[in-house]
Chain A
Amino acid sequence: MLLKLSLSGIRSRFKDYLVLFSGLIMSSAIFYMFESIAVNKEFVTSTSVGSIARYVFMLGAILLGIITLVYVSYANTFLLTMRKHDYGLFMMLGARPRKIGLLIGLETIMIGMISTVIGIVLGAGITQLISGFMFDTLALPKNNFSAIYGPAILYTLIFFAVLFVLSGFLNNHTFTKSSALDLLKSEQNTDWKQPSKLSLTIQGILGLILLGVGYSVMFRINDLQMVGIGIALVTIVLGTYFLFRSLFVALLDSIQHTAMAQKGLGSFTISQLKFRINDFTKILTVVSLLFALALGAITVGVGFKNLIPQMATANDYYTLAITNPTAKEKQLVNKLDGKTVRTYDIRSGQTGNYLNAAQFEEHPFYYPKRVKDTNKGIQVKVNDKKQSYSYKIRKASITDMNKRGSEANQRLASLFDAKDQAKQMKIVSSSTFAQLGGEKKQIMMVRVKDMAANNTVLNKINTIQQKAAGKMGVVGGAYTMYVLMNGIFGSFEFMGIFLGIAFLAMLASCLMFKILSGTSVDAKRYAMLNKIGTRRSVMKGSIRTQIFGLFALPAILGLIDVVFGLQMFVSAQLLTDPYPVFYVSALVFVILYLVYYAVTVAIYNNFVVPKTKIEK
C-alpha cells in the first residue's frame, strides 16, 4: 500500500519531478564518467600519464560529490514542498507519523536510484563518445579503456545510495517532527518583514568590506599563501551573503520609489524580487559561489592547458634530439613544419663524448638559462631567502659547455642517449676532433615552433625513441615534457570543463527548484492580478524580470569573483594571462545559464499565470 501511494504520488506529479530527475541524472552521469577514468585499473597502470590523470579525476569526483550533497538537499526541499499537502492529508486521515516517514524515505530513495541508474547509462554513453577525443588530446592509448566498467558502476551506485539514504533520513526527520496542521497550512504562512534601514546599511557596508578584503587577499596570495586562501574563502562567502541580504534590497528599495516603478506591474515586480532575495539569501549566496567555482574551474583548466607548450619549452630549447637518426626518423623529421634542425658529430669513447667546436661556432647551441628576475618569474627559496627567477633563451659559449655541472653542459648532456649522459662531455677544436678515435655518432636536434600542430609526427618519432631507449630510458627534449604535461593539464582541462558544466547544471537546478517551490503561493497573487485586469503579457513580463533578477545577481557576483580569483593564479605564477580564456568560457557559460533561465521562466509561467478561459 505504502509503495503504491508513493508511486502514485510521483506519477501524479511527473512533470514536476522531471526537472528534479534531469538534474540528478546529469550529476550521476558526470560522476560516473569521472569514476570510469579514475578507477579503471588497466588504463591507469598502462601509462605514466594515466596514473597522473587518475588523481586529477579522483579529485574531480570528490569535489563533485560535495556539490551533489548540496544539490540533493535542495532538490529534496523542493520535493517535499510539492508533497507537503499530500503528507498532511495522509496524517489527517490517521496515518502514523512513522508510516509517513517511511513513505518519504521510500520516495526519496526510489527517485534517487532511478535517476542514478539512468545517469550511469547516460554517463557510459557520454564517456564512449568523448573518450576518443580525450585520449587523442592526452596522447594516450585507447585500447585499455572501456566506457562500461564494473567497479565504476558499483562506486557510483554506492555513492548515490548513501547520499539518498542520508537525505531520506533527513526528510523523514523534518516531517515526523511537524504536525498535520502545520503541513496542511504551511503554505499560508508568510513571515515577510520590511527590514530596517539601519540594519540594511550596516550589513551592506559589512558585505562590501568583507568582499574587498577577500579580493585583495587573492591579489596578495604570494605573501599570505594558504592562510590567504582561508581568509578569502571566509570573507567572500560572508561578504556575498551580506550583500544579498542588504545591498540589493536597498537598491531595489530606491528603484521602487522612482516614477518608472509606478508604471504597470513595476512596484509589484520589485517588491516580489525584494521579498524573494530576502527569502533566497542563502541559496543566492551558494549559487553565486558555485557559479564562480564552476567558471573558475573551466577557466583555470583551459588556462593550464594553454600553458603546456610554454612550460615545456621553458625546460628545453629543442623539441627533441635523436642520436644516430635512422632513415625512417629522418623522413619523419622532414615532415615537421616550422622546424630548425642542427646536427652535431660525436666521437664517443669509453670515458667521454667529444664534439667539434667548429660545428658549434657555425650553429650555436641554445638553452634556457635561469636568470634573476624580480618582477616576474618563478619564486624559489634559497637559504631561506625568497628569490625570483625566470628562464631566458641564451646562446651557449664553448667555455660554458665545457664546465662540468654548468647549466649549458647539463642541457646538452640531457639530450644524449641515456647511456651517454653519465659520460664526461667535451668540446674540442676541429683539429683535435679529427684525430680522435672512438665510435662515430651523430646527434640531430630538432626544434619546432608549434608542438601541438606537429603532434602526430612528433608522437611517431617519440614512439620509436621510447622503444629504443627501453623501459628505463629517458628521452630528452621539450616534447617528452610536453607529453607528460599534456597528461596532467589535459586532464585538468577536461575535469575543469566537466566539473564546470556539472556545477552549472546543479546550481541552476538548485535555483530553479527554489523558485519553483514558491509557485503555489505565487499562483494566488497572479490569480488576483488577473482578476483586477492584468494582461497575461504584463504578468509574464513581470515574471521574466523577477526570475532574471534572481538569476543575474548571483551570476554577476560570481563573474566578479572569478575576475579577482584568477588574479590569485596570476600572482602565484600558475597562469600568465588567463583572461582571454575567461572571456570565452564566461560567454559559453552565460549562454548555458540563460537556457536554464528560459526553462525556469517557462515552467514558472505554466504554474502561476492563469489561463484565460475561452471555452464556450
Chain B
Amino acid sequence: MKDYYRVIIGGEAGYGVMTSGSLLSKLAASSGLHVFDYVEYPSLIRGGHNAYEAVFSRSPISDLVGEVDLLVCFNKDTYDRHKDELGSGAIVMYDPDEFDLEAHNHVLVPVPFRSILKEGNGSFMMKNTVLMGALSAILSADINWMYASLEKQFGKKGKAIVELNKKFVKQGYDYAQKQAGNKAIPLLSSETKDSAQLIMTGNDAFSLGCVIAGCQLYAAYPMTPASSVLATLAAWQEKAGMIVRHSEDEIAVINTALGASFAGVRSAVGTSGGGFALMTESVSLAGITETPLVIFLSQRPGPATGLPTWTEQGDLLFAVHAGHGEFPKIVLAPGDNEEMIALTTRAFDLADVYQTPVIVLSDMLLSEHHSTIARETVTSFANKYKPNRGKLITTADANYLRYGPSEDGISKRLVPGQKGVYFQANSYTHSSDGHTSELSKDRIEQVDKRAAKMSTYIKNDFLLPHMSEDIEKKKTVLVSWGGAKGAVKQAIRLLGTEGEHVGHMHFHHLYPLSEEKIKPLFADGVRYVLVENNSQAQFGQLLRQQTGVHLSERLLKYNGRPIHAEEIIQFIQKS
C-alpha cells in the first residue's frame, strides 16, 4: 500500500466530528504512524459544516496531501462537498438511515449509526462511539485500544457507562467489519514502536514550552485561535505551580503580566490579532519600563473580527510595528511543534536577557492542527534546557540604578522586595535611577541605551534561517516563515528526486533582521519563491526594509485556508 493515507470525517457542528477526529489521530499515532490533522469549522457551536482531515503516514508528514482514501459522512452535505477529492477505490462510510448513496468507483460501507443507537438505548450523541468502533475495523486497529480509551475517558462515571460505550464500539466494529469484508485496510494493525509518540497542537506545544521555561504567570482573555492555551495551562496550573488568569479584557491581561514580571516571575500572555490590538499601548510600556514579557500571538484572518476560525499570516507587520514610540522588540515565529517548544523557551530567555517584549507568532493552522512528535524529543529538550534570566538580581546596594548605563544596553534588574533598596519602573522618560526626567541628556542616554539592546541581540542572539543542505547548489529556493513551513517541507518531499534542485529557507527569528548576516545568504541566478499565507507579502516587505533583499516572485494565499504542498509544486512548475 501507499506511504500515506488520507481521511476526512465530516458533519454538522456539534455531533462529534472533532472528538472522533482527535481520537482517530491518537489511535493512528499509537500505531507508530506520523499524523498531520486539521479541522475546518465555522465560528459557531451548532450547525454549519465541520470537517476533520488527516493524513497518516509511515514517514514524516507536514501537510494534508493526496487523494482521500476514507470519507466518513455524518450527513449528505459532507459527501457532496468532498466527493471530488476521493481517490478511486476510496472507502465511503455513511449512515443509510440518513441518506442513500450510489457506488461509483468507491467502496460503500453503510453503518446505521442511528438504528444501532436506538436499538441499544444509546443517545444520539454517542454516534462517534459507534464510529470509532467502525473505524477500528476498517483500519484494522486492535479494538482493545478503544476499550482502554473508553475506560480512561469514562472510568470515573462508573462501570455501567463504560460498558454501554464498549457495547456500541463493538457493534460499530462488527457491523463495519462485515460490510467491508476483505476491503479493510491494514493501516493500524499494531506495529513495533521505536519510541513513544506524542500527538499535540501548536497551542499545546506553546503551553509545554511555557512550563519548560518556568513561566509562572499566564494571563489571557479567550480568543480563537489562542484560547486553548488558556484552557490547557489553567488545567495544569496546580501541577505546574503557575497562576493562570482569565482577566476582564486584553488590556488587563497584559498589564497584569507586566506587574508580575516586574515583581520577578516569568510571565506571558496569549491572544489573536484583535486582542493584541488592545494590548499595544502596553507593549510600548514594556519597552520603556524594560519589563520582560512573552506575547503569544496566534493569527487569524482579519481585519477586525475577520474569519475567526480560519488561518492567515496577516499580522506580521502589525506585530513588528506594534506599540507607539521607538523601543526594542523581538519577533519569533515557529513553523512546527518542535520549533514551537524551542522558540517559546527561547522567547522567555530573550525577554529576560533583553528586558523587553518578545512576540511568538503562530497562526490558526499551527495552533490547532495536531501532529506527532517523539516524547523523547520533548523530554530531552526539557531536561537540557536551563533558563537564562539575564541580568536579574536579587540583591543590590543603596546606589542601585535600575536604568544604569551599560555598553550592551542592558541594566541590572532587581527583584522588588529586597530591604534597604527600592527603585521605580517608569512609563515616563526617566533618568538612570528611574525618576521622571525631561532633560535632553537623560532622554538621549536612555533612548540610546534601549537601542543598544538590539545591536547586542543581533550580535549575540539573532539566528539565521533554517536552510536545506547544499542550499548553495539549489536552482530554486522556497522562502517561508512560521506556519507555511510544513507545506514547503512537504512539497519538497513530494517532489522526490525532481526536488533535488529545490531548496528551502525558513525564517524563524523575524525581527529585527540583520542585513549583514542575511544579505549574503541570497545568491544571484537563483530563483527565490516567497511563500506566505497573506495577500501583501508581509515578510517580503520586512525583508526588503530590513536587509535590502527584494523577492519578487511570490506565492500568496489569503482565502483563509492553509497553503498546501501541491499548490507550491504547481506554482514552481508552471514557469
- On whether the two chains bind one another, the answer is no
Which residues of chain A have a CB within 8 Å of any CB of chain B?
none
